[in-house]
């Protein structure tokens, strides 16, 4: 018999204690890890000596507390909806440091963003340029904008999250962008500050960014020559993280200096002043900062075939395996006397196959164990759902030795909150009554 193992810790906290204190399923986020990622990004840029910007992509994980952390660390925020803007503003985020994205922004959202003094709106299409110009003119405001351009670069990533190619709903195609942007010369309400592109997610080296930068440089140069006072080139997000041990990932300290060195050389060769280079990572900052804790329930052994280990969450709190075939690692958190690793399938409780992890080695999983899935800080909470009418988990933030709830656990009543019975059903108590009356 082995010695009793200790409970697993995450960011210095005993995960079993967290589960018993806050319940499961539970999202846990570490402020210390978020801060470390942001600090590494800053270090990488500082070493290059250029003007730079870091915008946290809020779509990967946004709550008021997260906005406070990001604000406190002095970086900017990329948002894609009025809901994300409201979250940031309610947390006290400086609107001037917010970039408003979205491929089909609604007129009401645009008005709201302008009214609140959002620093930059990223224009995604010709149609949107006209819409924003009309709204800004009506409101008597000047808006500062970047243009999102699809540069036709293919990042080596899952095709469903490839967004920088020409065949994409996002951005103005590179070959049409000049004409679109030149139209702003007749639009006093639109101040063009720069260009933006986003080539995809889970990029693991600098090469796709270098290619995208080169593609954008040509357009940038034409616009400068046409008299535009551009100051920013935003190369988007997409820095890859290692979901599984041994996965390749984007080493910011290595690749950002390489990417910047290349751009410096290219801008100098073209005789154009080096713009501020901005990046927009979401996953890189939030993914490894989060884990999800579950309680194991049913364990079903089908001899010779497979062992299913079911947990009290699943595709409701992490739809990524179902949507993208995303892979995760998991561990039993509670210490055990005996180490008996078994290959199992981890399933969620949703009423379909709901496979969270197809194959993982766990230590003698049994009902009541606490299971931790790692690297769930990005695109889990923000993509969660109430499928099967399950309430969403709570989110707990760890900061040093402190822990506290930053999003309350939903209740069944919360899930029912917006249900209404229409007038014509009122007073009818059963299907039987309904059918009798219908006759
Ligand atoms: N900037 C823009 C304009 C974006 O569209 C995105 C992601 C980012 C930045 C941040 O990308 P990141 O650094 O987080 O990879 N739900 C998918 C990811 C969709 C990403 C959409 N845009 C997933 O779970 O993998």
CATH code assigned at 318: 2.40.37.10
**Domain span at residue 104?**
31-281
- From 225, 257, 281, the end of a domain falls on 281
Q: Per the structure, how many domains does the chain have? A: 2
Does the annotation count 351 as an active-site position?
Answer: yes
Q: Which atom of ligand 1 is nearest to the CA of 158?
A: 25
318 part of a folded domain: yes
**Burial (Cβ within 10 Å: 0-12, 13-18, ≥19) of residue 247:** middle
Whether residues 217 and 239 fall in one domain: yes
C-alpha span between 104 and 37 (Å, rounded):
31
Whether residues 268 and 296 fall in one domain: no
Are 348 and 319 spatial neighbours (Cβ–Cβ below 8 Å)? no
Q: Average model confidence (pLDDT) for the chain?
A: 94
Instruction: Find the CATH number of the domain harbouring 86.
Output: 3.20.20.10
pLDDT the model gives residue 156: 60
DSSP string, 117-138: T-SEEEE-SHHHHHHHHHHHHH
435 part of a folded domain: no
Q: Which residues contact 75 (CB under 8 A, 6 or more apart)?
A: 38, 41, 42, 53, 54, 55, 56, 97
Percent of the chain with pLDDT over 90: 90
Q: Is the pLDDT of residue 380 over 80?
A: yes
Q: Is the pLDDT of residue 165 over 90?
A: no
What confidence tens digit (pLDDT) does each residue in 182-197 have?
A: 999 999 999 999 999 9
Strand 341-347 to 355-363 pairing: antiparallel
**Burial (Cβ within 10 Å: 0-12, 13-18, ≥19) of residue 136:** buried
201 part of a folded domain: yes
pLDDT the model gives residue 436: 53
Q: What are the backbone angles phi and psi of residue 33, rounded to the nearest 5°?
A: -70, -40
CA of 198 to the centre of ligand 1 (A): 8
Tokens 């995208």 belong to 212
425 part of a folded domain: no
C-alpha span between 407 and 26 (Å, rounded):
10
Cα→Cα distances 438→127, 260, 420, 424, Å: 50, 72, 22, 12
C-alpha span between 342 and 361 (Å, rounded):
5
What confidence tens digit (pLDDT) does each residue in 329-341 have?
A: 999 999 998 889 9
pLDDT the model gives residue 439: 47
Model-level pTM?
A: 0.95
Side-chain-side CA neighbours of residue 378 (13 Å): 27
What confidence tens digit (pLDDT) does each residue in 407-429 have?
A: 999 999 999 999 999 999 988 66
What confidence tens digit (pLDDT) does each residue in 204-248 have?
A: 999 999 999 999 999 999 999 999 999 999 999 999 999 999 999
Whether residues 237 and 99 fall in one domain: yes
Q: Using pLDDT thresholds of 50, 70 and 90, give the confidence band for residue 5.
A: confident
Q: Is the pLDDT of residue 1 over 50?
A: no
Whether residues 60 and 201 fall in one domain: yes
- From 281, 313, 347, the end of a domain falls on 281
Angle (nearest 5°) at CA 162 between 112 and 243: 100
Q: Which atom of ligand 1 is nearest to the CA of 323?
A: 24
Whether residues 160 and 258 fall in one domain: yes
Q: What are the backbone angles phi and psi of residue 73, rounded to the nearest 5°?
A: -90, 5
Which one of 162, 282, 286 would you pick to mutate in the ligand 1 pocket, going by the greatest count of ligand atoms within 8 A of its CB? 282
Whether residues 85 and 213 fall in one domain: yes
* Ligand 1 surroundings by CB, under 6 angstroms: 57, 60, 78, 101, 161, 163, 198, 201, 236-239, 280-284, 320, 324, 378-379
Whether residues 225 and 107 fall in one domain: yes
* Closest protein CA for atom 18 of ligand 1: 161
357 part of a folded domain: yes
- From 281, 302, 330, the end of a domain falls on 281
Are 251 and 209 spatial neighbours (Cβ–Cβ below 8 Å)? no
Bridge partner residues of 308 (DSSP): 300, 345
Whether residues 301 and 210 fall in one domain: no
CA of 171 to the centre of ligand 1 (A): 14
Residue 189, number of CB atoms within 10 A of its CB: 19
Residue 32, number of CB atoms within 10 A of its CB: 12
Whether residues 304 and 267 fall in one domain: no
Q: Which residues contact 329 (CB under 8 A, 6 or more apart)?
A: 243, 244, 245, 357, 360, 373, 374, 375
Whether residues 167 and 207 fall in one domain: yes
Q: Using pLDDT thresholds of 50, 70 and 90, give the confidence band for residue 52.
A: very high
**Token reading at 111:** 């008005």
Are 278 and 349 spatial neighbours (Cβ–Cβ below 8 Å)? no
Q: Which residues contact 405 (CB under 8 A, 6 or more apart)?
A: 22, 394, 395, 396, 397
**Token reading at 4:** 């009793």
Whether residues 274 and 334 fall in one domain: no
C-alpha span between 383 and 161 (Å, rounded):
14
415 part of a folded domain: no
Q: Which residues contact 394 (CB under 8 A, 6 or more apart)?
A: 22, 23, 26, 27, 405, 407, 408, 409
Which one of 41, 123, 155, 198 would you pick to mutate in the ligand 1 pocket, going by the greatest count of ligand atoms within 8 A of its CB? 198
Determine which helix (DSSP H) or strand (DSSP E) holds 20, and give its type and residue range.
helix 15-22
pLDDT the model gives residue 158: 56
Average pLDDT of 256-272? 97
pLDDT the model gives residue 153: 79
358 part of a folded domain: yes
Annotated active-site residue in 67, 351, 431, 439: 351
Whether residues 193 and 83 fall in one domain: yes
Q: Is the pLDDT of residue 435 over 70?
A: no
Are 371 and 296 spatial neighbours (Cβ–Cβ below 8 Å)? yes
Tokens 């197809």 belong to 358
Tokens 């969403």 belong to 392
């Amino acid at each position: 018999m082995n010695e009793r193992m200790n409970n697993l810790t995450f960011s210095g906290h005993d995960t079993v204690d967290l589960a018993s204190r806050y319940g499961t399923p539970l999202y846990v986020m570490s402020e210390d890890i978020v801060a470390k990622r942001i600090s590494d990004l800053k270090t990488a840029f500082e070493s290059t000596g250029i003007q730079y910007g870091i915008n946290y992509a809020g779509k990967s994980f946004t709550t008021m507390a997260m906005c406070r952390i990001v604000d406190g660390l002095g970086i900017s925020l990329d948002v894609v909806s009025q809901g994300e803007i409201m979250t940031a503003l309610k947390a006290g985020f400086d609107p001037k440091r917010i970039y408003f994205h979205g491929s089909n922004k609604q007129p009401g959202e645009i008005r709201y963003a302008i009214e609140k003094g959002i620093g930059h709106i990223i224009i995604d299409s010709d149609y949107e340029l006209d819409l924003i110009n009309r709204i800004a003119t009506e409101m008597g405001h000047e808006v500062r904008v970047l243009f999102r351009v699809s540069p036709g670069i293919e990042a080596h990533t899952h095709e469903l999250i490839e967004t920088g190619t020409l065949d994409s709903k996002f951005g103005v195609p590179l070959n049409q962008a000049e004409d679109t942007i030149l139209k702003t010369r007749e639009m006093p309400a639109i101040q063009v500050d720069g260009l933006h592109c986003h080539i995809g997610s889970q990029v693991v080296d600098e090469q796709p960014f270098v290619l995208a930068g080169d593609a954008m440089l040509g357009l940038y140069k034409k616009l400068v020559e046409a008299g535009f006072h551009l100051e920013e080139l935003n190369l988007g997000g997409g820095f890859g993280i290692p979901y599984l041990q041994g996965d390749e990932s984007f080493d910011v300290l290595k690749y950002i200096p390489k990417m910047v060195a290349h751009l410096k050389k290219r801008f100098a060769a073209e005789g154009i002043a080096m713009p501020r280079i901005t990046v927009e990572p979401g996953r890189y900052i939030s993914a490894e900062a989060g884990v999800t804790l579950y309680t194991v329930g049913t364990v079903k052994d089908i001899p010779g075939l497979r062992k299913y280990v079911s947990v009290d969450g699943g595709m409701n709190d992490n739809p990524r395996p179902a949507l993208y075939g995303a892979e995760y690692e998991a561990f039993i958190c509670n210490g055990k006397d005996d180490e008996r690793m078994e290959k199992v399938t981890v399933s969620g409780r949703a009423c379909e196959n709901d496979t969270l992890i197809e194959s993982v080695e766990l230590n003698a999983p049994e009902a009541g164990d606490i299971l931790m899935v790692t690297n769930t800080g990005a695109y889990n909470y923000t993509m969660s759902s109430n499928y099967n009418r399950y309430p969403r988990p709570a989110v707990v933030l760890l900061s040093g030795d402190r822990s506290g709830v930053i999003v309350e656990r939903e209740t069944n009543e919360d899930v029912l909150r917006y249900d209404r019975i229409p007038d014509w059903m009122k007073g009818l108590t059963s299907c039987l009554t309904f059918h009798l009356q219908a006759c």
